Chains A and B, each alone.
Chain A
């Protein structure tokens, strides 16, 4: 990762986030080229489909290794929805499960050297956050109509406080997609940059390079934890937003 293929150009820890065109595609003047980011997305969904379909192919009463993994993923997300949303959350299970697996596998595959982390791009995380935000808002209005606005009125607050609290609630509601997108994007960006910076010290320091190397190893483990944790956080916040939309308070 430390070697620079672009001769002479100074390599930066941010270079790993660069999007490279693999197959140029242009439709009506719009650039939708197949890039390294798109390639990683395709690999991600291919692996998820492989796990969930090939892993459960035998439909074994006593599951094999892969089937156990598939079942654990299923029950993990199902438990998450049951705990946060309750039984009405079952309808949104396929979407939440897809979201969790997509982010989890995207983050994890990003930890493979020379690969690319598509979740470290604000365009992707913000698009996902907006889908969640818009979806939840539509869901709320479809379920409660204009009564959905009562979400912005905190319960048990005296009326004279409303002019102060309602704008705060509206701002906090509108900032949900931003915080959701930023959290995932910034975590992936910071983690990968940090790893790259310390890894860059290893060849430069020669024999003393053992020190940054000793640091990079536990840091990699931490990054793997964060890769899981951020997928979990994104998913559980989505669940909580859905719960808000369904039950208001």
Chain B
């Protein structure tokens, strides 16, 4: 086994081990490891900073959302008030118009009734006068007796009133 046979190489192996490992140790200790460590530290700081910023932005966004929601709520309640006021006004107007219309209809109805009444009275009077003439003509034709206007009038009136 060369590991145990080539004993004369032991010193050389250890010599070169010390040289190379010593060199490697110095390079890593003085140059490479501080550099990697600073890179990692910088990155960690950057990440922490970014997280802090993100937290800030989130807070701002939350505030903006809250303000927006308050605005919406205010607008909604204003709108409710407006709608309620408009509804009330409309209802009042409608009621007023309804009353006015009712009054007008009542007046019209009363007017129409009085006109009907008058027409009826007139009609009855007309019928009376026509009836008087008819009664005079009928009597003169049937029994050849002239009935005086007053008698005929009285008889017709009595007949109408007796009927009615």
Chain A contact residues, CB within 8 Å of chain B: 14-15, 17-19, 25, 30-35, 37-38, 41-42, 44-45, 48-49, 52-53, 56, 59-61, 63, 67, 70-71, 74-75, 93-95, 97-98, 101-102, 118, 120-124, 127-128, 185, 189
Number of interface residues of B (CB under 8 A): 36
Tell yes or no: B75 within 8 A of A by CB: no
Interface stretch among B2-10, B89-97, B109-117?
B2-10
Is B33 a contact partner of A94 (Cβ separation < 8 A)? yes
Q: Is the interface of B mostly helix, strand, loop or mixed?
A: helix
Nearest A residue to B13 via CB reads A123
Instruction: List residues of B (33-87) whose CB comes within 8 Å of A's CBs.
Output: 33, 35-40, 42-43, 46
Q: Name A49's closest neighbour in chain B (CB-CB).
A: B27
Inter-chain residue pair count (beta carbon < 8 A): 130
Please tell me if the beta carbons of A123 and B16 are within 8 angstroms of each other in the complex. Answer: no
Partner of B36, one of A31, A74, A128: A74
Please give the residue numbers on chain B whose beta carbons come within 8 Å of chain A beta carbons, in ascending order.
1-4, 6, 8-18, 20-21, 23-25, 27-29, 31-33, 35-40, 42-43, 46
Complex-state Cα separation, A59 to B46, whole angstroms:
14
Contact of B32 among A35, A52, A124 (CB under 8 A): A52
Q: Are B36 and A70 in contact (CB under 8 A)?
A: yes
A98 to B15, CA, bound (A): 17
A-B contact pairs, 8 of them (CB 8 A): A32-B15, A37-B9, A37-B13, A41-B17, A42-B16, A52-B28, A94-B33, A118-B13
